[in-house]
């Protein structure tokens, strides 16, 4: 992707997850919100730059490694500028580092499917988790743990939907689309069954706190029950491209045979 496409993707994420509204709802001062959101956009853009490179690059040579190191340093400096704390920065970036590690481990024949489904999607939301964490910290807001867990679970449903909607696109990219990879590892019907069971677990977390989640995201946010219904429908109607094997599956097979 070029820079304009990455910024468009960034804008879509912020709108979809209602980041600006979340900042207002947790009580962040309006004067602070604009400056903070500018920094958060720069932070998300740097994350997307690494993502975009890894989706196109399998072998991590010195040049690629140097670029990733440079962007990770940029991310760390941005977070440290916002938090004004080295220790807090290290803690906030823990999940993002684990996600990047997972992406790199794929190149050593460690399939993302080996990671339990809920842990996997906890890693997939590392960027939005980081955004919400920073906003909550700056607002000095204490969000109750059960509501925070429901909010994170809401974000996980979006990531499941992204995987399902991107099946065709991810056939030709090096992307950790768990649904697609699992379908080739344990079978399509078994994968659909696991994902439907996962959504049932998610319902138990979100539904009792649906109003609380919406109160933090605003009226423009997609309601959790509608989001889960959309995910279920996508699972039921999903299809694998006939006679084709995803690029990442081919690369993992090649790695395992060497």
Q: What pLDDT is stored for residue 255 in this prediction?
A: 61
Nearest to 122 by CA among 144, 86, 94: 94
Residue 258 falls inside a structural domain: no
Query: In total, how many domains does the chain have?
Result: 1
How many Cα atoms are found within 13 Å in the side-chain-facing hemisphere of 42?
15
List Cα–Cα distances, 253 to 68, 245, 250, in angstroms.
25, 11, 5
Q: What's the pTM?
A: 0.93
Q: Which residue has the tokens 């994170």?
A: 152
- Residue pair 238/167 in contact by the 8 Å Cβ criterion: yes
Under the banding of pLDDT at 50, 70 and 90, the label for residue 135 is very high
Higher-confidence residue: 123 or 106?
A: 123
The most distant pair of C-alpha atoms in the chain lies apart, rounded to whole Å, by: 57
Q: Is residue 134 part of a domain?
A: yes
DSSP 73-119: HHHHHHHHHHH--HHHHHHHTHHHHHHHHHHHHGGGT--GGGS-HHH
Dig out the tokens for 129 from the structure.
Answer: 């988790």
Residue 248: inside a domain: no
Nearest residue to 155 via CA among 55, 227, 51, 50: 227
Let me know if residue 138 belongs to a domain.
Answer: yes
pLDDT tens digit string along 63-113? 999 999 999 999 999 999 999 899 999 999 999 999 999 998 888 878 889
Q: Nearest CA to 42 among 84, 85, 86, 6? A: 6
Query: Is 256 a domain residue?
Result: no
State the residue for tokens 């990442």. Answer: 248
- Domain hosting 142: range is 7-241
**Residue 163 token pair:** 């995987």
Q: Does residue 162 have a pLDDT over 70?
A: yes
Residue 1 in any domain: the answer is no
Do 240 and 182 form a contact (C-beta atoms < 8 A)? no
Tell whether 257 is covered by a domain: no
What is the structure's pLDDT at 257? 61
| 199-243 per-position pLDDT tens digit | 999 999 999 999 999 999 998 999 999 999 999 999 999 998 887
Which is more confidently placed, 177 or 110? 177
pLDDT score at 124: 96
Residue range 167-187: average pLDDT? 92
φ, ψ (nearest 5 deg) of residue 207: -55, -40
Q: What is the pLDDT of residue 111?
A: 86
Q: What is the mean pLDDT of the chain?
A: 91
34 located within any domain: yes
Residue 2: per-residue pLDDT: 87
| Cα first-last separation, the chain | 31
Which range is most confident: 33-42, 121-130, 132-141? 121-130
């Amino acid at each position: 992707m070029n820079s304009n496409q990455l910024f468009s993707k960034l804008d879509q994420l912020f709108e979809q997850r209602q980041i600006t509204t979340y900042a207002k709802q947790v009580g962040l001062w309006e004067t602070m919100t604009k400056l903070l959101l500018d920094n958060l956009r720069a932070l998300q853009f740097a994350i997307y730059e690494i993502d975009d490179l890894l989706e196109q690059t399998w072998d991590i040579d010195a040049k690629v490694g140097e670029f990733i190191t440079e962007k990770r340093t940029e991310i760390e400096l941005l977070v440290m500028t916002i938090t004004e704390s080295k220790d807090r920065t290290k803690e906030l970036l823990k999940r993002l580092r684990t996600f990047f590690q997972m992406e790199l481990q794929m190149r050593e024949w460690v399939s993302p499917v080996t990671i339990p489904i809920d842990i996997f999607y906890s890693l997939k939301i590392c960027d939005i988790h980081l955004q919400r964490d920073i906003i909550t910290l700056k607002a000095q807001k204490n969000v109750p743990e059960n509501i925070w867990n429901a909010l994170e679970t809401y974000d996980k449903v979006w990531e499941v939907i992204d995987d399902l909607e991107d099946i065709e696109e991810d056939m030709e990219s090096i992307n950790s689309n768990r649904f697609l990879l699992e379908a080739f590892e344990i079978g399509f019907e078994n994968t659909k069954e696991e994902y439907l069971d996962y959504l049932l677990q998610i319902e138990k977390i979100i539904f009792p706190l649906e109003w609380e989640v919406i109160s933090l995201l605003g009226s423009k946010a997609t309601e959790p029950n509608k989001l889960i219904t959309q995910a279920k429908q996508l699972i039921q109607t999903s299809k694998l491209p006939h006679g084709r094997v995803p690029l990442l599956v081919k690369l993992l097979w090649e790695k395992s045979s060497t």
